[in-house]
Structure 1
């Protein structure tokens, strides 16, 4: 059985710090419902990118890791394969967000931290 799920299913592989939830609430108050897509690009490193729902097309092969603050978090299937034994924690640090991410310009940005999980045999 494949342990990967499609964008229509959900894993429980992501959580958020209180600081991330506070920034998320601020962004949702300004922009309405959002979604996160874990960046794997060279320009944004591994920042979780935050977009208005409906303005970012989630691919059929993207994996829904779970939700934070009621907002969905996705990752590409290829990146998920590399990180599938990792639980992600969305946090906030000082700095600028990704160019197209809604945290840009707020002088704090989302950052993904990870915890390696022990896989049961």
Structure 2
């Protein structure tokens, strides 16, 4: 699913933060994304879109992933690490320190489209100049 035009910047930031946490969790517990996709009951490409923030994380998929990993959904949804195994908490903190809010590649690979409905640029009426 492509980014919807009515997404607010906060929604986009939240989706990217959740995607980053999903990737961190998967990289620690399952090196191959295809295994995580299989656990979520989806294709590898659909899982990749969730993990990169190109699409929202679906509730059913998240529930399956967290059940597969034996963790709660709190970390992915909110960033709350309470309740995660201590070795996973250490690894999460290490990985989060290495990956700030959004990676540069995520930002440059998926630029936001220009705002819609803002009118024409100054100096252009939209009428053709016919003599």
- TM-score normalised according to structure 2 size: 0.29
**Bigger Cα Rg:** 2
- Structure with greater strand share of residues: 1
The higher-RCO structure (CA 8 Å, 6+ apart) is 1
Name whichever structure is richer in helix by fraction.
2
